[in-house]
Copies of this chain bind each other. A is one copy, B any other.
């Protein structure tokens, strides 16, 4: 249903005690804060609600998000943030029970490395970014195989190159126990004026050569749901996922028995809402509108 009146908005908010927010396209677009998103989060907190920011963007750690959020004037704690960089580290530590000092090969950027190291793992891969000199002898790559690498994590990576792909592949290929984790598999993401390839592209490359399927720790995966449930003690039917993407955010909510609210300030439009079989429980133009309804 569309949230249209103040009563709709209050009923919606009263029906839940935890709100999971997607970030880009919901609370902000790039560096532009969506009006009233700061106020909405403060309002919810003042009513004793829990708010958690759940993003598939793996380029930042929780600390990195915290900095960005503080600069945008959001009042949040590190525990209110659960990006897919952290989800990957959490999964390896809490579910796969990797040991401290186990090594992880990272195809991705600083956020993943930071979270993995905070979780006690040694990371490899980030120094393979430099590509002005490609390897001259393919054999060199094979000499870098490390049997202590217990997992390969793939996230968004602006610095992807053949050597990284080959090393990640080699670790998976020669060690059948090596875990294969993807922070998410979004095929694209929007930027102002267009669309760019998402993490899913590099994940597809590694799937193709390794012929293995990754565990995905971002939305809409059940691994993420289990992690959130454990971390926050969620009561599923009193939790709502608020997002702008039907195929990740709304699917995540609906597949796991949570409520879901679609906002139209990001990827999914009113027409995609009409044409999908995956209907959110609620939809509204924006968080701006939601706050304004409550505040009148």
Contact = CB atoms under 8 A, between A and B. Distances in A.
Given A160-B160, A165-B201, A196 B134 contact: no
A196 B138 contact: yes
Range, interface on chain A? 35 or more
Interface in A156-215: 157-162, 165-166, 169-170, 173-174, 187-188, 191-198, 200-209, 211
Contacts of A188: 169, 209
A207 B188 CA distance: 11
Nearest to A130: B132
Residue from A130, A161, A193, A201 whose CB has the most chain B CB atoms within 10 Å: A201
Given A162-B159, A204-B204, A204-B205, A173 B187 contact: no
B191 A138 contact: yes
Interface of A: 130-132, 134-135, 138-139, 141-142, 157-162, 165-166, 169-170, 173-174, 187-188, 191-198, 200-209, 211
Among all A-B residue pairs, the 8 with the closest Cβ atoms: A204-B208, A197-B209, A201-B205, A205-B205, A142-B194, A204-B204, A132-B132, A201-B209
